[in-house]
Amino acid sequence: MAVSAQPMPSTSTRSDARPARRARTVRRCIASGEMRPKEELIRFVAAPDGTVVPDLAERLPGRGLWVSPRRDVMARACARNLFARAAKASLRVPDDLVDSVERMLTRRCLDLVGLAKRSGEAVSGYERVAASLVAGRAAMLLAAVDAAEEGRRKLRALARARGLDAAVVELFTAEELGRAMGHDARVHVAVAPGGVAARLAKEIVRLESLRGQPRQEDDGQAPGRRSPEVR
């Protein structure tokens, strides 16, 4: 005798649903005492000779000593050698540690712009950048700090008109952007959505914080700090 198949009872569990967003790992700044997501801080470690060295990639062995990327906070950590206090060890802080971190962050940002270019995820030149915006292919816009204000203002206005939440990033010179893109000086660069843009956004937030240089809205006023949104 044929037996009709009966529907199985639902065994849906949380694992069947969309996974919950993973909690962000937080660390305490040794200078301010503030707890923040670790991607918003700078990690330092002690070298074998006791020198404090930056570990921006968070890969070096040893106990991490985390500091806010704000220049005044980092300067205070250096001046008072709060690294030694946190590590409970005798450590030496290089005189140019803060400037070294800024140079390293700048290099990391520009290297990622170059990676985006080689991956076909970045274009330069006002017309190509504007076309990327209109087509919805721009997650982040970079404008040279030494470019004419009129061009930067137009780009900010165009980004806002197209609904791009992140303002134009103005941290690098035309020469720096040009080298990153493998050309002569470049004034405007657009980076497409994706993993490279997400990594670049993280580094830009830290560099902006260190320089105390928030991005400008299209009316020329500095907004509250926010991360470049990458969709």
What residue segments make up the domains of the chain, in order of their start? 26-95, 99-211
Compute the distance between CA of residue 19 and CA of residue 131 in angstroms, rounded to an integer: 36
Burial status of residue 51 (CB atoms within 10 A of its CB: 0-12, 13-18, 19 or more): middle
- pLDDT digit string (tens) for the chain, length 231 residues: 444 444 444 444 444 444 445 678 999 999 999 999 999 999 999 999 999 999 999 999 999 999 999 999 999 999 999 999 999 999 999 999 999 999 999 999 999 999 999 999 999 998 999 899 888 889 999 999 998 888 888 888 888 887 765 568 999 999 999 999 999 999 999 999 999 999 999 999 999 999 987 554 444 444 333 445 454
Per-residue burial over 200-211, b if 16 or more Cβ lie within 10 Å, else e, is bbbbbbbbbbbe
CATH 3.40.50.300 fits 26-95, yes or no: no
Give the sign of the dihedral formed by CA 217, CA 222, CA 224, CA 225.
positive
List residues bridging with 141 in a β-sheet: 190
The whole-model pTM stands at: 0.81
**Fold classification of 99-211 (topology level):** 60s Ribosomal Protein L30; Chain: A; (3.30.1330)
